[in-house]
Amino acid sequence: MNSFYLKNPKLYQDRSFVETTLTVRQGVITEIGGENDEALDTIDAKGCYVIPGFIDPHSHGAYGIDLNHASANELRTLGLKLACHGTTSWLCSIGCDAVTQTEKAIHEAVLAIEEPGKGAELLGIHLEGPFLSPKFHATFEERYIQASDIELLHHYQAIAKGHIRSMTMAPEIRGAKDLMAKAIALGIRISIGHSDATWQQTVDAYKAGAHAVTHLGNAMRGFHHREPGILGAALDYPFFVEIIADGVHSHPAFIRIVDRLKSPNHLMLVSDSMMATGLPDGAYHLGSRDVTVKDGQSRKEDGRLAGSTLTMDRALLNLMEMTQKSLAELIPASSTNAAQWLGLSHKGNIAPGMDADLVFMDKQGALTRVFCRGEEAKG
Ligand SMILES: [Zn+2]
């Protein structure tokens, strides 16, 4: 059933809720406020807030699946699982790893993109590395970090058949300027991260076309009032910024400050989730690293954070709690802004012509139904 008529929803429209109707045909929103002229199946959404499906531009896995090692089938399975948390489209993040492992991961992702399953739509690949600062490799193994290598980038995008949509890189490494220009020419969006860039280097990167910052505050040079670094530039310039709103990766006060400066148009919630997401505490891995998850926090042996166990529905509720803002005010951070950053004209909003990616939420913030391109997700 990817055609239906929705009655009585509190429908998200431009940062407020409106009681109206919604018509979906063949997985696409065709009308708002119309009658059910074609006698489509009717869904009564009384008492539900209906909001755009979440777009997660940064995930390393969940439910026992690690995206550096996942098969195409596991990626499809994950699409179903993520949809149950309201994610209706996403990028699979391949973390910095050996070249052969990266090639394998890209290959499997391409299969899953080109022969998709049901559930959350895999939009493409986010390559997190390998062109990072050795100083801020964080969870990744330093030995896999590479100097700027245009040929390698070209190779990755060739085997990805153009499906690498974004790449996290450090703009201060030697040769980064040419690498960035090449990446952009190959259709890859640049997000600054795992980086020691100064304020000036970050501003220069912005002007060269790098318009996002990966998990702001994490794995980067800190803020100093005489050298504001990436943090300062990210807040000063119109960068899209990712935040991991799990209460662990950043202090709530930091999230509030970022929200104040970046909402409504440039804040992006991401999960940065790893394979233990949705599973109990225990021993897991993140890419090539062994990690331990305790109290939902994923850490390496040295105690440093290694991915999160966050889901997008939880991230949105946490952000509401941290900022004391309303659902309607924060929805752009869970969908619209990521769509803008990724250049998706058919996702991230509820309007005619958009994919029918819809999340139903009750008054308490619990998800009751999720639709991906008009198809109800049942994980
Ligand atoms: Zn990551």
Q: Which residues contact 182 (CB under 8 A, 6 or more apart)?
A: 150, 153, 154
- Please tell me which residue in 196, 246, 272, 313 is annotated as part of the active site: 272
- Give the pLDDT score at 378: 85
- Give the pLDDT score at 379: 65
CATH architecture entry for 53-342: Alpha-Beta Barrel (3.20)
- Give the pLDDT score at 200: 98
**362 φ/ψ angles, rounded to the nearest 5 degrees:** -85, 180
- Give the pLDDT score at 288: 86
Spacing, Cα 170 to ligand 1 middle (Å): 14
CA 352 from centroid of its chain's CA atoms: 24
Spacing, Cα 126 to ligand 1 middle (Å): 9
Spacing, Cα 128 to ligand 1 middle (Å): 6
Burial tier of 243 (Cβ tally within 10 Å: 0-12, 13-18, 19+): buried
Sheet holding 297-299, edge to edge: 282-286, 289-294, 297-299
Spacing, Cα 168 to ligand 1 middle (Å): 9
- Give the pLDDT score at 247: 93
The pairing of strands 367-372 and 375-376 is antiparallel
- Give the pLDDT score at 228: 98
Among residues 161, 159, 167, 160, which one has the least CA distance to residue 126?
A: 167
Comma-separated ranges of CATH 3.20.20.140 domains in the chain: 53-342
What's the CA gap between 330 and 344, in Å, rounded?
19
Spacing, Cα 348 to ligand 1 middle (Å): 22
Q: What is the pTM of this model?
A: 0.97
Is 66 one of the annotated active-site residues of the chain? no
Strands (E) located in 33-71: 42-44, 49-52, 54-59, 61-62, 65-66
Between 72-83 and 99-114, two packed helices, what is the crossing angle to 10 degrees? Answer: 60
Rg from Cα positions in the chain: 20
- Give the pLDDT score at 211: 98
CA angle (178, 174, 162) in 5-degree steps? 40
Comma-separated ranges of CATH 2.30.40.10 domains in the chain: 4-50+353-376
Q: Which residues contact 109 (CB under 8 A, 6 or more apart)?
A: 67, 70, 72, 75, 92, 94, 122, 125, 160, 163
What's the CA gap between 329 and 331, in Å, rounded?
6
For domain 4-50+353-376, the CATH class is mainly beta
Counting as low any pLDDT under 50, the low residues of the chain are none
What's the CA gap between 326 and 333, in Å, rounded?
12
Spacing, Cα 63 to ligand 1 middle (Å): 16
Q: Which two tokens stand for residue 245?
A: 């709103």
For 20, what's the count of Cα atoms within 13 Å in the CB-facing half-sphere? 16
